[in-house]
Amino acid sequence: MREPAGEPEAETREVPFRGGGFAPRPRRWAGPLVFVLLIGLLEWGTRTGFISSLTLPRPSAVFATLVQLWQSGALAEHLLPSLQRLALGSLMGISAGIAVGVAIGLFSLVRAGLVPLVAALFPVPKIALLPLFVIWFGIDEGSKNALIALGTFTPTVVATYGGVDNVDRTLIRMAQSFDLSWWSIVRKIVLPGALPAILSGLRVSLAIAIILLVAAEMLGANRGIGAYVLEAGSLYDLERLFAGVVILSLLGIASSWLVSRAEKLLLAWRPR
Amino acid sequence: MEPFVTRRTMLAGAAAVSLIVSAAATAHAATAIDVGALRLVSHAPSFVAQERGYFAEEGLDVTFRFFEAAQPMAVAIASGDVDYGVTAISGGLVSLAEKGAIKVIGGALQEEKGIDGQMVLASDEAFAAGLDHPSKLGGHTFGMTTAGSSFHYMAAKIAQAEGLDDLELKPLQQVGAIIGALKSNQIDAWAIVPHIAKALVASGAAHEIGRIADYLPDYQVTTIFTSAENAADERETTVAFLRAFAKGAADFNAALVDRTAGEKAADEMVALIHGYVYSDKPLEEAAPSIRNGAMRSNEGAALNLTSVRDQLDWFKAEGLVKPGITIETLVDDTYVEIR
């Protein structure tokens, strides 16, 4: 009840519930619609000459280039070496990153020793080191794998030890009270607790791996999606350039989907 | 003597335009143009024309825009940020011409027998293992910047002439990266302009195994190009630019290529170029590199159309550019003498 504030006439009215929040609701059609509108606009613009052929390629021509890539077998020829570099490089970088990240999270000495080193390595533009990598690891696959490995290593380390740090302390204290062994605590509480953060770090690492793929294929690669994009750029062949960019985007979507699958599988224990 | 008449009529036309231009120049302010350049000895004619006032005499107020590679310069001309440029014909340049953005209007650097031109180099290791002639390049790696670059063209032409089908090309994006790879024996061979080649040979990092002039005797290495708009609508300015450029080229050839102008003129020329090329090194250190880099820049900015056509045909045969592009789309042959 309100105090009557001097006003004699107290009107009662119904107030609708307003606290609905800004919860996003599923709108499945919106994403594809944006793509369709944008591509339609580009197609119209390039066909009418509103957008010159110098500025952007015609989307249908890009699609035709993709179809031709697929039919001629060139797609596999470029995709397979790239996927191999991505897989090998990121496997090395991510597994080393998780190992170092967990060690930093668990041991104070390792943390004191390695966190400054990782912080120093992180902002170094790996692309600038490419010529050096060629001298160290050779012009063939070695330098390419090493570049992707180093590029994925640092973000994985940071995500991993961040995840370890954020594991619920009360759970660890409880386990200690129940006299669980150190190894048992790490295996049953720390690692599962850090897993969500590690997996979300993986999304960033894999995106970086794809970015670095193009850089890695700058030196001495005749085959590969990155080499294909770079070649198209230097020939100013916009259709092939955009076809390559579309393939890189699809790789990004595929890697993100893989991480989502891994999250569903590995984090099934989490309460919904 | 058809060509002679053509040249004479052209000169007469040029003289007439010159009068108009100089009249216009006295009446109005100088025409401001942007000229794209790389800090290479092969761009010397522009530098000479600027320093000795040939551009100013033609009523042009030139601002140089410097680039690290030929490809961005071609794109800058297509976008209208730069008016005139000099660079090798690359696949990118042909593609931009195909889109109606740029035109080749004249010739600059050309290979010529008897003058030190581009050299074929072998890495120290490959040379020691017996790679002492381009005919033995089969199965070896050959450096290039990108597909469709002049390096790609030269390698393909050597392979064609020697009947090699297993020359492995390594794209390394930048000249610096190729030099590094050659020095560290990551690639076996390369072909490059003399001022870089001679320095590499002198340092012992590479060995000369052949000359490009033996495979491509009249190779039109670099061409002068401009936007299609300038070529079509800014005729007076374009003619004035070419005339000033040709004057610079004549001075350059006389001083450093033919050496008819005497030792003093050669020294002056080196000092002038040093203002733009290797300016971070002291003159004494830069001078030999600049002298070594002197290749002929065509008299009157003449264009060797036969060589340009051969290059275009090669780009098409390799599938590097659209098959439909014709020589007329690439070249505007109304400006200079066509050889």
H/E element holding A4? Answer: none
State the complex-level ipTM.
Answer: 0.74
pLDDT at B16: 53
Q: What pLDDT score does B28 carry?
A: 52
**Among B91, B101, B170, beta carbon nearest to A139:** B170
Nearest to A138 by CA among A221, A226, A231, A223: A221
Q: Residues of chain A with pLDDT > 70: what percent?
A: 96
- Within 8 A by CB and 6+ apart from A212, the residues are A89, A126, A127, A147, A148, A151, A152
Substitution target from B68, B94, B146 for chain A, most A beta carbons within 10 A: B146
Per-residue pLDDT at A147: 92
How do residues A169-199 score in pLDDT, each as one tens digit? 999 999 999 999 999 999 999 999 999 999 9
* CA-based nearest residue in chain A for residue B90: A235
CB contact under 8 A, A234 and B90: yes
| Interface residues from chain A to B (CB-CB < 8 Å) | 52-54, 131, 134-135, 138-139, 218-222, 227, 230-231, 234-237
Average pLDDT over residues A95-115: 95
Domains and CATH numbers, chain B: 2-110+220-330 (3.40.190.10), 119-214 (3.40.190.10)
Q: Is the pLDDT of residue A30 over 60?
A: yes
The chain-wide mean pLDDT, for chain A, equals 89
Strand B84-88 relative to strand B222-227, pairing: antiparallel
Return the amino acid letter for A198.
I
Q: What is the mean pLDDT of residues A3-10?
A: 56
Summarised one tens digit per residue, pLDDT across range A246-271 is: 999 999 999 999 999 999 998 888 77
The predicted pLDDT at position A167 comes to 93
CATH number for the A59-266 domain, one of 1.10.3720.10, 3.30.56.10, 3.40.50.300, 1.10.730.10?
A: 1.10.3720.10
One-letter amino acid of B278: Y
pLDDT at A255: 93
Q: Report the residue of chain B nearest A56, measured CA to CA.
A: B99
Distance separating alpha carbons of residues B46 and B49, to the nearest angstrom: 5
pTM: 0.79
What was the pLDDT predicted at A136? 86
* Residue-level pLDDT at B7: 54
CB-based contact B103:B336 (threshold 8 Å): no
Which of A6 and B136 is assigned the larger pLDDT?
B136
Helices within chain A (DSSP H only): 30-48, 59-72, 74-106, 108-121, 130-137, 141-165, 169-177, 182-185, 191-216, 225-234, 238-266
Residue stretches of chain B with pLDDT short of 70: 1-29
Q: How far is CA B317 from the centre of its chain?
A: 23
pLDDT for the residue numbered A29: 86
Boundaries of every domain in chain A: 59-266
pLDDT band at A1 (very low <50, low <70, confident <90, very high): very low
Q: What is the pLDDT of residues B34-78, one digit of tens each?
A: 999 988 888 899 999 999 999 999 999 999 999 887 788 888 999
| CB contact B134 to A (< 8 Å) | no
